[in-house]
Amino acid sequence: MKNPLTIKDIARLANVSQSTVSKALNNRHDVSPKTKERILEIVSQHNFIPDASGKALKNRYTNNIGVIFRKDDNPLRNPFFSRVLEGIEAEIAFNEYNLILYLMPDHKKPGLPKMVQQRQVDGIILVGTQSPDFVDTLREAGIPTVLIDPRAHIPSRPQVLIDNENGAFLATRHLIEHGHRKIGFIAGELSIPSFQQRLDGYKKALTYYGIPITKSLIKCGGYEEGYRFTRDLLQDAVNRPTAIFAAYDINAIHGYRAIYEANLRIPDDISFVGFDDIDLARMASPPLTTIRVYKEELGSVAVRNLRSILLGETPPSTTSIIPVKLVERDSVRSVEVQQESAPARQASAKKI
């Protein structure tokens, strides 16, 4: 896609020389702050993208891939996104690309990062963004982009997704096959597609097995509200659950604390199943039965798909769905109402 303006056009609009525009774009100190501000405002308004270097012009490719996370999803600390980043790094290194990492603050307006403005990257992997406007800005700039587990519905863009609905169905079915009928559900904001899809899978499992959907057993609205949601479920005298499905392992871990503070035991008094299989899941006490998301694979597939797009081998709207797996540990027990379901239980998951 061609730039909407040239440096000559920007110089004319800003009433300065082309060399002054170049200095402003390169953050030189011999341009007054007021002039630089005027030039950068014009650049921002028109999404002008200068070429990064003569080498990029000559070779057309930089061999750099940009990876963008929300700053709040800090991939160096977050137990989920750190593993996604590991998969991205490994696949990028295998294909002899370089990685440029950018953490985008949530409050930042959807403008182009410097690595895109200066054409320092051939393509972008966008992890967990909440802003369709930002994706649109990248598309308008002509930058090939692959999304991983987006937190908004963004149609007609290449994506790598988790099989959320099926995973939630497996988790809920596992509890049902252990005899549970009153199953609580806790999750983050349903405006995030992955959580809505996990709620859909939970409801589908209940419906399939002829179990009524009880609204009071569904608690949604926060990434780390598992403690409060679990405490609220325990205080429900009419529909107190015998099991809880947490659509996010961190919420399950926080829910454990509410169980113990109520002088209850897991799984003797209440069973728990999570989703994601972060490292904390197997280190919890007792180890958490959960749905395994192949996090490194999310990153690896995203790099492979982006590379195929860059080489013209894959349609730019390709969507990949990464399968999930039930991992049975020690946080679920059988209740008497469905003892006969043991053979089905054993077939549904291999205990590890």
pLDDT at 209: 97
Domain of 82 in residue numbering reads as 52-157
Count CA atoms within 13 Å of residue 68 on its CB side: 25
Of 141, 157, 173, the one marking the end of a domain is: 157
Looking at the structure, tell me whether residues 205 and 344 fall in a common domain.
yes
Of 125, 157, 189, the one marking the end of a domain is: 157
Looking at the structure, tell me whether residues 191 and 332 fall in a common domain.
yes
Domain total for the chain? 3
Tokens 């009153």 belong to: 182
Confidence of residue 7 (pLDDT cuts 50, 70, 90): confident
Task: State the average pLDDT for the chain.
Answer: 86
pTM of the predicted structure, to 2 decimals = 0.78
pLDDT at 349: 43
Label residue 325 exposed, middle or buried (CB < 10 Å: 0-12, 13-18, 19+).
middle
Distance CA(233)–CA(235), nearest Å, equals 5
Going from the C-alpha of 334 to that of each of 97, 263, 312, 330, 341, the distances in angstroms are 50, 20, 52, 11, 9
pLDDT digits (tens, 9 = 90+) for 157-202: 899 999 999 999 999 999 999 999 999 999 999 988 899 999 999 9
Looking at the structure, tell me whether residues 57 and 177 fall in a common domain.
no
Percent of the chain topping pLDDT 70: 87
Looking at the structure, tell me whether residues 103 and 127 fall in a common domain.
yes
98 — phi, psi (to 5°)?
-115, 150
Looking at the structure, tell me whether residues 42 and 57 fall in a common domain.
no
In a domain, 314, yes or no: no
pLDDT at 79: 87
CATH number at residue 286: 3.40.50.2300
pLDDT at 232: 96
Looking at the structure, tell me whether residues 248 and 281 fall in a common domain.
yes
CB atoms within 10 A of CB 52: 16
Distance CA(335)–CA(98), nearest Å, equals 53
pLDDT digits (tens, 9 = 90+) for 280-310: 999 999 999 999 999 999 999 999 999 999 9
In a domain, 66, yes or no: yes
Looking at the structure, tell me whether residues 198 and 332 fall in a common domain.
yes
H/E element, 324 = strand 324-327
Looking at the structure, tell me whether residues 141 and 235 fall in a common domain.
no
171, 326 contact by CB (below 8 A):
yes
In a domain, 309, yes or no: no
